Amino acid sequence: MPEPTRLLSADDVRRALTRIAHEICEHHSGVSNLVLIGIQTRGVPLAESISEAIADIEHEKVFVGSLDIGLYRDDLASRPTPRLGRTLMPVDLNGRNVVLVDDVLFTGRTIRAALDALSDLGRPAAVELAVLVDRGHRQLPIRADYVGKNLPTSIDQRVTVRVEAIDGENGVWVGS
Amino acid sequence: MNSELAIRNGTVLTADGVAEIDLFVKDGRIASIGGDHDSHTTIDANGAWVGPGLVDLHCHLREPGEEWKEDIASGSAAAAAGGFTALVAMPNTKPAIDSGHLACFITERGRQVGLCQIATAGAITMARDGKALSHLDELWEAGVRIFTDDGASVADAGLLRLAMEYLAERGAVVAQHAEDQGLSLGGQMHEGAISSLLGLRGIPALAEELVVARDLALARLTGVRYHVQHISSRGTLDLISDARAQGLPVTSEVTPHHLAFDDERVMALDPAFKMYPPLRAASDREALVAGLSDGSIDVVATDHAPHAPFETEVTFAEAPRGVIGLESAASAVMTACSLPIETFFARMSISPAQIAQLENQGRRVATGILANLVVFDPERTWTPDRFRSRSENSPFRGEALRGMVLATIYEGRVTHSLVKS
Amino acid sequence: MKHLLSISDLDRAEIEDLLTLAAEFSSVLERDIPKVPTLRGRTIATVFFEASTRTRLSFERAAKALSADVMSFAPGTSSVTKGESLKDTVLTLEATGADLFVVRHESVGAAARVAGWVNGPVINGGDGAHQHPTQALLDALTLRQRFGKLDGLKVGIVGDIANSRVARSNIDAFTKLGAQVELIAPSPLLPVDLSAFPVTVSGSLEDSLPHLDVVYLLRVQIERGSGPILPSLAEYGLRFGMNRQRLQMLPADAVVMHPGPINRGVEITADVADDPRSLVLDQVQNGVSTRMAVIFRLLGAS
Ligand SMILES: [Zn+2]
C-alpha cells in the first residue's frame, strides 16, 4: 500500500480553523448566543480550537459541547462492539445558535445522526455545520456552512484527519 | 461336527482359566472348546475377550406404563448392543411390579422379544408407596429373587424388617435404593463445593449412608441377604466393608457413571448428568473405582433410566432423575477402571448372575452350558453418539471410551455383532 | 460478549466497560427526552417464569429508552400455565420476532439452557439461587458512583446467602473489582461449602459493622423450595436486621444497600431505609441504565 499523501500541514489546519472562526463571527453579529458542539471524537478538539480562535477575535469565550452520535447511527448492527464517547452540553440548547463541528464531511450520515441526537437534547434557534474537510460523495441532502478545505476524492480513498489533542499532531492525509 | 456358530481367535474365560482357544456352538449350547469344526457362522474375535454375557442387576425398561421412554423390546435391543444377555428390570413401572401376574408379564414379554433374558425385581411394598407389603410370596413363585422399591427407599423400618424376615426365609435378596427423603428433599446434585457455587440444593452423602447404616442393623437382625443399589459414597462403601468383615451377607453395586464422573461434570447443568444418587466428589469416585477393583463392590449395574428427549429438554432442576447406560456400560467401566479379564467378568456377569440367581447366566465357558456370551475388545476405542434405546439421555455421548462390545450371543443366537461373517 | 448469563463470564475489564457505558446511559435518562433511537426496529422479549414486576419493568424501561419494542411473557397472562415448556415458549417468541431474550426462571441454569436453543443473545434475569448478573452490575455501578472505585472496599453481605442469586453474582462482581466481601449469616443460611468463594465469614452483624464500608442486606424469605429455613422472621430481624442503633455502629461514610423489595422491619427498619446513607433508590435508578448498557452491548455487536 502506498504511503498516504499529506494534503494539509499543521499550519494549513490552523489557518483553515482561523478562517472558519472569522466566517462564524461575520455571520453572527456577536457570539454570546453561540454554542460550538464537536462531534466525538475529533470534532471535539476542533471545536475547542475554533472557540479559541473566536476568543482571539471577539475577546469572548464561546461555549463548547461534545456530542456522541453512537446511539443514533443507522449502521449499529454492522459495527463490532461500539464504543460510546461522552455527550456533554455546557448550556441549555433551547434558543441557542448551534454550530456542529466535525473533521470530515462525507456521506452526511454522521451529520444526520448528529441532528437527531441534537433534537433529543433541546430545540436550538438554528443549527449550522462546520467541517475541516469536505470530501464530497453525499448520500443525504446535507451541506456545510463553513468548510476548511474542499478535497475532491474518489469514493474508495481514505481521508485521515489527525489532531494534536488525540493524535499528537495536526494534519490531513489521503491514502488509497 | 457341523456347528451353528464358531468364535475364533478369542481370549476366552473358561472354567479352567483364560485361554486363547476357539469355541463352537450347537443347539444353543457350547458344543466344543478347541478343535476345528465347520460352522455356519463365524465370529473372528481377533484377540478380544470372550466370556459370559453381561448381566445387569439394575435397569429400568419402563414397560408397562411409560413405553415412550423405553419398552422391553427397545431395552432388549440396547442390552444386546451393550453385550448383555440378562437384565433385571426394576419394579417401578406403572403399575409397579407388586404381584405375581405382573412379574410373569415382564418375563414373558422378554421371552417374546428373545434378545436376552429379562428377569424382574419385585416391589417390597404395594404400589411402592411404603405402606403395606406387596405380594411377596406370589412374586417369589413367579420367579422374582430380588425385592426393592427402587426409586425410593423403604423408609418405614418396621415394614422393612417384616419384609426382610419373610424374604430371609426364602433366600431372596432385599435390595435398597438408599435415600433418606428428608435429607435429599429438593436436592439436585451432590452437596459440596459445586452445589454451593451453583446455588443448587445439595443431596448430602449422608442421605445414602444413613439408610444403609440402618438397613445393615436390620439385616443383622433378620439375616437377610441385603444388597445396596447404586452406591455413591466412600462412606457407604466403608459401612458395607465393615459389615462384610463381620460376616453379614451384604453385597453392593456401582454404576458406570459413578465410576466415570464426579460432581464437576454438573457445572454445565446438562440434564444428562442428573441422577440419584448424584455424582459425588472426586474422592468418592476414586474410592468406588478402587472398591470395584478390589472386590469390596461386587457388581457394576447400569441403573439404565431412559427419559424421552421432550422430558430432558428442560432445565436441570426440572429434568427427571436418571440416565441410560446399557450400551456404554462395559466400555465406560473399562475406561474408568481398566479391569483385568477375570475381574471384568466377575463384576459384570458372574456376581450379578449369582445375586439374581440366574442359573444359565454368568457362567465361565464350559462344554454343555447355554451359549450366553459376549465378545469384548478391551482396547478398541469409540465414541457413543447414537443409541438403540428409545431414549438418548446418556452422559457418555461424545465421550471417548476404551473397550468395545464386538458381539453378543444369547442362547446360541447372535443378537449383536460387528464382526460376523 | 454473546450473552450475559453469569458474572463469571466477565473479566474485570468487561465489567468496567459495562459500568462506564451504564454511566453514559444514566445521563441519557436525565435528559428531557430520556430516550435514544439506537435499537429502533429491534424487539426484546422478557420471559419471566418467576414473578418479578420490579426487574421486568426495569428491563422494559431500559429497552424502551433504547427505542426497542418489547414483548412481555409471563405466566398467568399466557399459555405457560397450560404447561407450555420453556423451550417451546422461547422458540415461539423467536419465531415471532424477538431479537434478544431476558429470562427469569426459578431453575438454576435456565437462561443458559435458553441460550442453547435460540439464536439471539440471552440475558439472565435471575436463575434460581445461581446468578442475577444485572443486579451485580447495577450494585457495582452504585458503589462506583459513591466511592469512585471498589478497590479496597469492605462489603458485608447479610442474610440468606445459600439461597441468594444476588449474593452469588455480587460476590463475584465485587471481588473482581477489588472489594473484600464478608458473608454475615447464621450457618444454615450459608452455602455448605465455601471453598470456591473468595470471602470471609462472620456470624455476628454487630461484630462486623465497625469495619464495613458497605452493608448489603439480602431479602429474606422464610420459605424457599422445600420448607422453612428460618425459625422465625422476628428472630432473624433481631440478629441480622439493620436498625438505627446498628447504623450508628458503622463508620461515618459507610452505606446500606438492599436489592429490594424490602421487608421493612425485618432486614431493615423504615428509618434506615430512608436514611441518606441508604443507596436503595440509587440502586433502582441504576438498574435501568445498567440494563440499557447490557442490551446495547449485546445487540450493538451482532
Ligand atoms: Zn435407584
Q: Do chains A and B touch (3 or more CB pairs under 8 A)?
A: no
Position B409 in a domain = no
Q: What pLDDT does B108 receive?
A: 97
Domain membership flag for residue B93: yes
Of A116, A138, A129, A124, the C-alpha closest to A72 is: A116
Mean pLDDT over residues C246-251, rounded?
A: 96
Any domain includes B187: yes
Backbone angles phi, psi at A144, to 5 degrees: -90, 145
Residue B32 lies in a domain: no
Pairwise CB contact (< 8 Å): A72 & C300: no
* Ligand 1 centroid distance, CA of C224 (Å): 27
Any bridge partners for residue B402, and if so which? B381
Q: At C234, is the pLDDT very low, low, confident or very high (cuts 50, 70, 90)?
A: confident
Q: What CA–CA distance (Å, rounded) separates B118 from B104? A: 10
Q: Determine how β-strand A5-8 pairs with β-strand A171-175.
A: antiparallel
Model pLDDT, residue C302:
42
Hey, where are the domains in chain C? Answer: 7-132+284-298, 133-279
Contact (CB<8Å) C37/A86: no
* pLDDT tens-place string over residues B76-113: 999 999 999 999 999 999 999 999 999 999 999 999 99
Chain A residues with CB-CB distance to C37 below 8 A: 71-72, 116
Task: Band the pLDDT of C229: cuts 50, 70, 90.
Answer: low
Give the architecture (CATH level 2) of C7-132+284-298: 3-Layer(aba) Sandwich (3.40)
pLDDT in tens, A76-90: 666 656 677 888 888
Between residues B407 and C85, the one the model is more confident about: B407
Q: What is the pLDDT of residues B157-203, one digit of tens each?
A: 999 999 999 999 999 999 999 999 999 999 999 999 999 999 999 99
For the segment B302-317, the average pLDDT, to the nearest whole number, is 95
Beta-bridge partners for B375: B50, B407
Residue of A nearest to C99 (CA): A77
Domain range for A25: 5-74+86-168
Q: What distances in angstroms separate CA C19 from CA B358, C12, C148, one per listed residue?
A: 68, 11, 12
- Domain membership flag for residue B169: yes
Q: Is C252 on the interface with B (CB under 8 A)?
A: no
Q: Which listed residue (B149, B180, B298, B303) is catalytic?
A: B303
Out of C2, C35, C54, C149, which one is annotated catalytic?
Answer: C54
Q: CB contact, 8 Å: B193 with chain C?
A: yes
> How far apart are the C-alpha atoms of B64 and B240, rounded to whole Å?
34
Q: What is the largest CA-CA distance in chain B?
A: 67
Q: Which residue has the cell 405402606?
A: B131
> Could you tell me how many residues make up chain B?
421
Question: C7-132+284-298 with C133-279: one CATH topology?
Answer: yes
**How many domains are contained in chain A?**
1
Partner C contacted by B148 (CB < 8 A): no
DSSP A4: P
Q: Is residue B192 part of a domain?
A: yes
pLDDT in tens, C54-69: 999 999 999 999 999 9
Specify if A45 maps to a domain: yes
**CATH for A93:** 3.40.50.2020
Segment C131-150 shows an average pLDDT of: 98
What's the whole-number average pLDDT of chain C? 91
Model confidence at C222, in pLDDT bands (50, 70, 90)? low
Q: The domain containing residue B214 runs over which residues?
A: 53-356
Which chains sit next to A, with 3 or more Cβ pairs under 8 A? C
Question: Is residue B205 situated within a structural domain?
Answer: yes
- For the cut 50, the answer to whether the pLDDT of residue C9 exceeds it is yes
Q: Do B253 and B229 form a contact (C-beta atoms < 8 A)?
A: yes
Residue ranges of alpha helices (H) inside A28-94 are 43-58
Q: Please give the average per-residue pLDDT across A104-125, as a whole number.
A: 93
Residue B97 included in any domain: yes
Is residue A173 assigned to a domain? no
CATH 3.90.75.20 assigned to domain C133-279? The reply is no
Count of domains observed in chain B: 1
What residue has cell string 479391569?
B339
* Ligand 1 centre distance from Cα of residue B385 (Å): 25
Residue A176 lies in a domain: no
Please confirm, yes or no, whether C82 is among the known catalytic residues: yes
Strand order across the beta sheet in which A171-175 lies = A5-8, A171-175, A158-162
Q: What residues of C are in contact with residue B193 (Cβ under 8 Å)? A: 193, 195-196
Record: contact C28-A71, CB cut-off 8 A: yes
ipTM field: 0.92
| pTM tops 0.80, yes or no | yes
Looking at C131-268, list the stretches that DSSP marks H as alpha helix, in order from N- to C-terminal side: 133-147, 165-176, 205-208, 233-240, 244-247
Distance C64 CA to ligand 1 centre (A): 51
Chain C residues whose C-beta is within 8 A of a chain A C-beta are 21, 24, 27-28, 31-33, 35-39, 66, 296-297, 299-302
CB contact under 8 A, C31 and A81: no
**Closest to A120 (Cβ–Cβ): which among C36, C299, C301?**
C36
Taking residues A138-144, report their average pLDDT: 94
Nearest-Cα distance to chain C for B29, in Å, is: 52
